[in-house]
Chains A and B, each alone.
Chain A
Amino acid sequence: MSSTYENVVEVRNLCKYFPIRAGLFGRVVGQVHAVENVSFSIKRGTTMGLVGESGCGKTTVGKTLLNLTPKTSGEVVFNGNTHLDQLRGKTLRDFRPKIQLIFQDPYSSLSPRLPVGEIIGEAVREHHLVPDNEFDAYVSRIMKACGLHDYQKDRYPHEFSGGQRQRICIARAIALNPDFIVCDEPVSALDVSIQAQIINLLEDLQKEFNLTYLFISHDLSVVQHISDTVGVMYLGNMVEYASKEEIFANPLHPYTKALFSAIPIPDPTVKMNRIILEGSIPSPANPPSGCKFHTRCRECRGVCSQKIPRTMDMGNGHRVACHIYDPESGYGEA
């Protein structure tokens, strides 16, 4: 299944709506627009950071990508030819090892009744990735690669610390020799020193196994450290997408600017120029009209509440969805 196709994953106009049911018969009375028209692609061996506030749909993008929750519309293509939502049963299960997931919470993501070696190796055996006689050595090698010790194989998850558990999660994903891993806030539950260890581990593994990551996080400094490209999401929409260098040097979207201004600078003499956003994130079940950000945007003008902004390519693959940068939007006229 391995492919040399440049983009490991391509996402086009991905939408995910969750129905709101009410009443005795569960009538659908509305939709939560969790993800709307999200498009991006990730090149082999690179990391894309996905940032945004809580509840903006980052995790939903990750899960929909892996078809763990079925998407509403749009297209997700792996290696240029595999549409996950078209696979069924055994073919789907056989493709699963290629794309893996690392969870935010290392405590609930490990079954408390299985020893660590079994947790890591279970799916390897299931998919017959290595011959049976090499199985133990393989699991040991993976554990070693993830900073775990051989003798810990027979221990149970409750005997490990949070950082070690996250290593187990990573080992479980790596063991399947995947092309692509969705890291769903893998370090947000860990303390800062452990965060660095895990981030370094992920980077090392990326080099060793030529992995591609979708790194979901609300921690901008982590994203800045690990990502090659960054997507910024707000209320289900991707408002800006660019390479790491480009977006951190020159954020265009007012939301991105506000978000990046919140990055703490470890220098007490520097005067921070923070952009404080008013109000809270609107309900995705009843999103604002036009540009979804217009209720909190400093640059908001009349057109913002009426027209949905187009995504404009500003060069170098820097895409932004804002009327300010769309000469045809009529933003400048008002």
Chain B
Amino acid sequence: MSENNSINNNEQLALDDGRRVKVLSPGMMVFKRFIRNKLAIAGIIILAFMFAFSFLGGLISPYRQDQVFYKIDSANKEFASAVVNTEYRFLTRDGSQLSTLVRANFSRVVKDAGDEGVSFEADGAAWSVQRLAEGFFGIGTAKQLGTVTLLGKIADVKADPGEEISDAVKDAALKAAKSGVDSFEVDGQSYMLTKGKAKSYTLGTVSEAALASLLNYDVHDSADTATVAAYAFRRAAELALRNGEKRFEADGAAYTLDAADEDSGVIYREGEDAPIATVSNVIVNPVTAGSFLAMDYKAAVAKAIDEKQTAFEYVNAEGETEKHTIRMRGNNYIVYTEQQTYLIDMYAAPSLSHPLGTDDHGMDVLTRLMYGGRISLMVGFVVMLLENLIGIIIGGVSGYFGGWVDTLLMRFVDLFNSIPYYPMMIIAGAIMDAFEVPPYTRIFLLMAIMGIMGWTGVARVVRGQILSLREQDFMVATEATGIRVSRRIFKHLVPNVMPLLIVQATMGLGGIILTEATLSFLGLGIKYPLASWGSIINAASNIYVMTNFWYIWIPAGVLIVLTVLGFNFVGDGLRDAFDPKMKR
């Protein structure tokens, strides 16, 4: 070097390292500017909290994310229904069915005439109704014997051809006709008068064909079914019950009756302790099909209803006392039992063991928020990395090589940008639902799809940046000095694109977390039993949960808002710090 160059002789003028102001490398300057930004520091603190909450919280939490909590509680369960029978039940002597017309006529005349014996015609025959007791009727068929005529003082009974009428019957018939009664009995045989034309009556014999009763018979032992269903048994039993007798006989056997009142009681064979049937006007059925109610339980229900009680106690087969309550619903009574049951602890209010309560599955909300945070943050980062990986490669190739490669790749980017995002995601979600993709696989597929759908923005930015950097003199200089392509890209291009990418990625993270939350909220993303913040908020789509159980969905919303805010603050801070025009 020439001696006369004055520039080289100013060694003594140079600031030596001790005195000179320490000038930082670009990276250090960025860091210094960044930590001076209060908002950015706030963002960093928020994010640090979120990461600690999600990744450490899950370790500290004593619960698993899919642990279901139970509680023991007494629940009023519907146990039985009961109805006070107001419909007559018919039993014919010969086992045949009474026609609908006869039944209808019976009901009509019973209602109209009250207790009086009445008759009606149906199916071309005459029928008579005889009141045997309160709410207990015999229905008889009539056979015509003759005619009774009452004309002033002339009163005559004329027998039909081939029929004979005894004098006693004639007298009774005239007497009945005069007093306006249309049935009478002579020597145990029932007769009836049917009103005809002009003061004349048709006289007939009546034979009992059917019984109409309001009572229900429950057989204790199925072996006794036929006995209890027998006509004579029923007739004798009910007459005894209605008349307050303790004993009756039917078909040659004797029975005793333990009556509670005139329309309910228990029937025993005489001399035996085991009841054969329970009689009641209350019909009790179990609520759950296929279950069986004990006779004494039915009796207890009937008794309580009769006594107009709303609650009763019942000692069950195990000797435990059950509390039952009766509630009227329409014409029915519903019997509830209070049972101690093992219940899923749904929507539990915040407490010490569950600081944010439990959700609709009975899982601890705080624990699910921690595990959900893991997934939300992980999805955010993985998708961001994936987007940037694809974006940098495609954008970098496009920008560095330019020409037709650039044109082709950018049209490809345009193509991707024109795919409607949400319909696409909804379809993808539906496909995953259809194939019943397991929850963990679903997360990975979701991340892959989000990454594949989202790289175009990064690619555009990288391409634009590289296009402009490529023309810078320092890139020409690397070519002129013969530096190889890989070094040119990774030592000169990439470090100059990096700041922008870091800012972009940080800002983008918030967006990705929001998108994931949206998808999970819509039920397309993370599925039960895994949680993400979005899927936790999904509980608020039920208006009842939204209004009553704030502690389930508000915290998740707050976490999402804070995290996105944190990423945006940090992104803003990085952008300002990387901006060389910010000389602070």
A residues in contact (CB < 8 Å) with B? 66, 68, 92-97, 99-101, 103, 105, 108-115, 122-123, 126-127, 144-145, 147, 149, 151, 155-156, 158-159, 169, 172, 176, 197, 200-201, 204, 207-208
The reply to whether A123 and B1 contact each other, CB–CB distance below 8 Å, is: no
Contacts of B477 in A (CB 8 A): 101, 103, 109-110, 169, 172
A-B contact pairs, 9 of them (CB 8 A): A96-B482, A101-B480, A109-B477, A112-B496, A123-B482, A126-B481, A147-B7, A149-B14, A156-B26
Q: How far is the CA of A207 from the CA of B4 in the complex (A)?
A: 13
- CA A110 – CA B478 in complex, angstroms? 10
Query: Do B1 and A110 touch across chains, with their CB atoms under 8 A apart?
Result: no
B331 part of interface (Cβ distance < 8 Å):
no
Question: Given A110-B474, A114-B491, A115-B25, are A147 and B479 neighbors across the interface (CB < 8 Å)?
Answer: no
Is residue B580 within 8 Å, beta carbon to beta carbon, of the partner chain?
yes
**Cα(A111)–Cα(B483), bound, Å:** 14
Tell me whether B17 is interfacial, beta carbon within 8 Å: yes
List chain B residues, Cβ under 8 A from A101.
476-477, 480
For residue B482, which residues in chain A have a CB less than 8 angstroms away from its CB? 92-97, 123, 126-127
B483 and A126 form a contact (CB under 8 A) = yes
A201 touches B481 (CB 8 A): no
On whether the beta carbons of A176 and B496 are closer than 8 Å, the reply is no
Residue from B1, B5, B480 whose CB has the most chain A CB atoms within 10 Å: B480
> What 4 additional pairs, Cβ within 8 angstroms, besides A96-B482, A110-B477, A156-B25?
A109-B473, A112-B496, A113-B495, A122-B483
Residue-by-residue, is B480-500 near A (CB-CB < 8 Å gives 1, otherwise 0)? 111110010001100110000
Chain A residues whose CB sits within 8 angstroms of the CB of B25 once the complex forms: 115, 156
- List residues of B whose CB falls within 8 A of some A CB: 1-2, 5, 7-8, 11, 14, 16-17, 23, 25-26, 472-474, 476-484, 487, 491-492, 495-496, 580
Q: In the complex, how many angstroms separate the beta carbon of B20 from the nearest chain A beta carbon?
A: 9
Give the shortest distance, in Å, between A55 (CB) and chain B (any CB). Answer: 18
Contact of A176 among B2, B473, B481, B580 (CB under 8 A): B481
Contact A144 B1 (CB under 8 A): yes
CA separation between A156 and B580, bound complex, in Å?
13
Instruction: Determine the distance from Cα of A110 to Cα of B476 in the docked complex, in whole angstroms.
Output: 10
In the complex, how many angstroms separate the beta carbon of B26 from the nearest chain A beta carbon? 6
Q: Are A144 and B8 in contact (CB under 8 A)?
A: yes
Q: Is the CB–CB distance between A113 and B480 below 8 Å?
A: no
User: Which residue of B is nearest A197, CB measured?
Assistant: B7
User: Are the CB atoms of A158 and B580 closer together than 8 Å?
Assistant: yes
**Pick from A108, A145, A176: contact of B474, CB under 8 Å:** A108
- Would A201 and B484 count as touching, CB distance under 8 A? no
Bound-state CA distance A112–B580 (Å) is 10
Instruction: State whether B23 touches A159 (Cβ < 8 A).
Output: yes
* Cβ-defined contact, B487 with A126, below 8 A: yes
Residues of B within 8 A of A66 (CB): 480
Residues of A within 8 A of B5 (CB): 147, 200-201, 204
**A93 to chain B: which residues have CB within 8 Å?**
482-484
**Given that A113-B495, A151-B17, A155-B23 are known contacts, is A208 also in contact with B1, CB under 8 Å in the complex?**
yes
Q: Is the CB of B2 within 8 A of A207?
A: yes
- B481 contacts which chain A residues (CB < 8 A)? 96-97, 100, 122-123, 126, 172, 176
B480 near A100 with CB under 8 A, answer yes
Q: Given the interface contacts A147-B8, A201-B5, A208-B2, does A108 sit within 8 Å of B472 by beta carbon?
A: yes
> How far is A149 from B15 in the complex, measured between Cα atoms in Å?
10
* B26 in complex: contacting residue of A113, A127, A176, CB < 8 Å: A113
What residues of chain B lie closer than 8 Å to A108, measured between beta carbons? 472-474
B484: chain A residues within 8 A (beta carbon): 93, 126
**Distance, CA A95 to CA B479, complexed state (A):** 12
Which residues does chain B contribute within 8 Å of A201, judged by CB atoms?
5, 7
Chain B residue nearest to A93 (CB atoms) is B482
Distance in Å from the Cβ of B359 to the closest Cβ of chain A?
50
A123 to B8, CA, bound (A): 25
Q: Which residues of B contact A122 (CB under 8 A)?
A: 481, 483, 491
Q: Is the CB of A103 within 8 A of B476?
A: yes
Contact partners of A158 in chain B: CB under 8 A = 26, 580
Q: Please give the distance in Å from B355's CB to the nearest CB on chain A.
A: 48
List, in ascending order, chain A residues with CB within 8 A of B26's CB: 112-113, 156, 158
Q: Name, among A66, A93, A111, A123, the residue most crowded by chain B CB atoms within 10 Å (CB to CB).
A: A111
With a CB–CB cut-off of 8 A, which chain A residues contact B495? Answer: 111, 113-114
In this complex, the member of B5, B26, B473, B491 whose beta carbon has the largest number of chain A beta carbons within 10 angstroms is B473
How far, in angstroms, from A274 to B482 measured CA to CA in the complex?
A: 45
CA distance A200 to B491 in the complex (A): 33
Give the Cβ gap from A190 to chain B, nearest Cβ, in Å: 14
B423 CB to closest chain A CB (Å) equals 31
Q: How far is the CB of A88 from chain B (nearest CB, A)?
A: 13
Q: Name the residue on B nearest A126 (C-beta).
A: B483
Are A103's CB and B473's CB within 8 A? yes
Q: How far is B492's CA from A122's CA once the two chains are assembled, in angstroms? A: 11
For B8, the chain A residues whose CB sits under 8 A away are 144, 147
- Chain B residues in 8 Å Cβ range of A197: 7
In the complex, the answer to whether B480 meets A68 with C-beta atoms within 8 Å is yes
Inter-chain contact A113/B496, CB cutoff 8 Å: yes
- B2 to A111, Cβ gap below 8 A? no
Q: How distant is the Cα of A304 from the Cα of B474 in the complex, in angstroms?
A: 43
Residue on B with the closest CB to A63?
Answer: B476
Neighbouring A residues of B17 by C-beta, 8 Å: 151
Cβ contacts under 8 Å, A156 to chain B? 23, 25-26
Q: What's the least CB distance linking B348 to chain A, in Å?
A: 56
What separation, in Å, do the CA atoms of A100 and B482 have in the docked complex? Answer: 10
Interface centre among A95, A101, A155 (most CB of B within 10 A): A101
User: CA of A101 to CA of B23 in the docked complex: distance in angstroms?
Assistant: 29
Residue of A nearest to B7 (CB): A147
* Chain A residue nearest to B476 in the complex (CB): A68
Top-10 shortest CB links A-B: A96-B482, A109-B473, A123-B481, A147-B7, A93-B482, A113-B495, A101-B480, A111-B474, A108-B473, A204-B2
Q: Which residues of B contact A105 (CB under 8 A)?
A: 473
Question: Which B residues are CB-close (under 8 A) to A151?
Answer: 14, 16-17
| Most B-side CB within 10 Å, residue of A66, A113, A123, A158 | A113
